[in-house]
Structure 1
Amino acid sequence: MRALTEQDIRDSFVNCSKGEAKRLAIPRDLDERPWDDLDFLGWRDPGAPDRSYLVTERADGLVGVTLRFPSSRRGFLHRSMCSLCVTTHPGNGVSLMTARKTGAAGREGNSVGVYMCADLACSLYVRGRKVPESGTRFEESLTVEEQIARMVGNLSAFLDKL
């Protein structure tokens, strides 16, 4: 993914108003992000613990979405799998992220959900740049490139539903 500026990010959001996009918290460490290892930029809002954001490049340009997730706590013995990168995490490491749909459907309150790594570090898990809290990922017969393609396809399918 190419390095993004704050303005690139704010202009990319498709499921919130321009005013909401102008007010949302942008990460301060954009210059330090491992852009070459990212397929999307994802971050949690430090001021709103139930909100996170995701921005990715698609054929038609940048697409940013606001996401919400429940604050419910699961026990450490509970394990869940991310639908994007197929990484398993204990406890709250995976969460149902919901995004308001675009247009009239979104204004009526309709949303779409996907189970994702709560820290939005899917790209880093697939590439082995970050280790899940459990310490390991399942060993797969797919190459890293094939796993990346699967993850990008899963993300694209989710965004298409918006």
Structure 2
Amino acid sequence: MHALSASTLRSAFVNVSTRERSALTVPTDIDTSPWDRLDYVGWRDAKSPLLGFVVAEIDGTPVGLQLRQTEQRTRTRAQCSWCTDVTLPNDVVLFSARRTGKAGRAGNTVGTLLCAGFECSRNVRRLDPPAYLGHDAAAARDRRVASLRSHVDAFFRDLRDGV
């Protein structure tokens, strides 16, 4: 992912109102983010802990989405829909995101299970121990990174283009 400034992050959001966009809190450590190891940038709002924000590059352009965590917890350990890691060291929660355009104004949302702190980029880059003799851990990691990018892209496109 390319390095983004705070103003670029703020202007990238497509499923918020102008007022919500101007009140949006961006991460304070944005200047020191490891951009070369991020497939998207995600953060939580310290003032509103149920709000989450993600920005990804879709067709080379930064696109941002506001997410809202549901208050109800899952009964069993959930799997993140984006990184699909079955050995997650972190919590997975259900987020909903308002669709863009007319559908979003009508209240239509899409839900997905995601890592609570948006740790997917770090999770997919972890080298797992070899599963068998001759297992190429680096190639497996590269496949997980490509899969994460595909899942993020599909989610963003569904919210933007879906009905």
State the TM-score, normalized to the length of structure 1: 0.85
Q: What SS does structure 2 have at the residue aligned with 1:154?
A: helix
8 Å contact from structure 1 (residues 73, 92) kept in 2: no
What 5-or-longer segments of structure 1 have no aligned partner? 130-135
Is residue 151 of structure 1 aligned with residue 148 of structure 2?
A: yes
User: Structure 2: which 5+ residue stretches go unaligned?
Assistant: none
2:55 paired residue number: 55
Structure 1 pair 128/96, CA: closer, same or farther in 2 (3 Å)? same
Counterpart code for 2:114: M
Q: Does the 8 Å contact 1:79/1:91 carry over to 2?
A: no
Deviation at 1:146, TM superposition (A): 1.1
Match of 1:132 in 2: none
- Correspondence 1:104 to 2:91: no
Q: Report sequence identity in percent.
A: 38
1:120 pairs, out of 118, 123, 131, with 118
Q: How many residues align?
A: 154
1:36 is aligned to 2:33:
no
C-alpha distance in structure 2 between counterparts of 1:71 and 1:92, whole Å? 17
| Structure-1 separation of matches of 2:87 and 2:47 | 24
Give the 5 Å matches for 1:9-20.
9-20=9-20
Amino acid at match of 1:102: T
CA distance in 2, matches of 1:128, 1:89: 11
Q: Aligned partner of 1:35: which letter?
A: W
Equivalent pair of 2:70/2:96 in contact (CA under 8 Å): no
**1:88-103 → structure 2 map (5 Å cutoff):** 88=86, 93-103=91-101
Is 1:82 matched up with 2:80? yes
User: Which 4+ runs in 1 deviate beyond 4 A?
Assistant: 89-92, 139-142
Structure 1 residues 40 and 90: alpha-carbon distance in aligned structure 2, compared to 1, 3 A threshold: closer
Quote the offset at 1:7 in angstroms: 0.7
Partners in 1 of 2:148 and 2:11 — Cα distance?
Answer: 24
More helix by share: 2
Distance change in 2, residues 1:26/1:51 (3 Å): same
Higher Cα radius of gyration: 2
Which is worse superposed, 118-127 or 86-95?
A: 86-95
